[in-house]
Amino acid sequence: MDSPDDKYQCKECGKEFTRKRNLRDHEATHTGEKRHVCNVCNKSFTQSRNLKHHLSTHTGIKAYVCTVCNKGFTQRRNLNDHYATHSGEKRHVCSVCGKNFTQRRNLKDHEVTHSGVKQYVCKECGKGFTQKRNLKKHVVTEHTEVKPDKHNEDGDK
């Protein structure tokens, strides 16, 4: 058991912890090791607290409710991000180009465009995209037969 006087220091960055378990979780942020696995969907996390927050998404209980529109959320941080949709506040800023976003997930989607990594690849032609929505748009515009208009050239049905 850890005593209140114990100090555990990260060899990578020097950050100190009073619990060895917290140090191990922290060290995973440097290595990328994801030891904490959701027993419902197998998604993995570097830190136990992130798994704990994630587990609430499976319960269906939305304990955090917007006081403006009554929309419910499983996590407080998602509610806090949601409030920006009402205020218009854009507090999530891209560290590369400075573009601002109201939602953290929109910033994360945007940041991928700077990496050059094209993780979404068209099965038809092999073209890669940084964002899933751009792949979907590509498939519809490039690989889906255009449905004939119900009107003929004269505009009659």
3-state SS, one letter per residue, for 107-155: HHHHHHHHHCCCCEECCCCCCEECCHHHHHHHHHHHHCCCCCCCCCCCC
SS3 category, 26 = helix
- In this structure, is the dihedral angle defined by the CA atoms of residues 24, 27, 29 and 33, taken in order, positive or negative? negative
**Residue 65: beta bridge partners?**
72
> What local confidence, expressed as pLDDT, does residue 155 receive?
44
CA distance 120 to 123: 9
Give per-residue pLDDT as tens, 81-122.
888 889 888 888 999 999 998 888 888 888 888 888 888 899
Answering whether pTM is above 0.75, one says no
Q: 50: closest CA among 84, 16, 26?
A: 26
> Which residue is associated with the tokens 């619990």?
19
> What local confidence, expressed as pLDDT, does residue 50 receive?
86
Q: 140: exposed, middle or buried (C-beta count within 10 Å: 0-12, 13-18, 19+)?
A: exposed
pLDDT of residue 149 exceeding 70, the answer is no
How does 27-42 read in b/e, with b if 16+ C-beta sit within 10 Å? bbeeeeeeebeeeeee
SS3 category, 23 = helix
Look up the CATH number of domain 64-115: 3.30.160.60
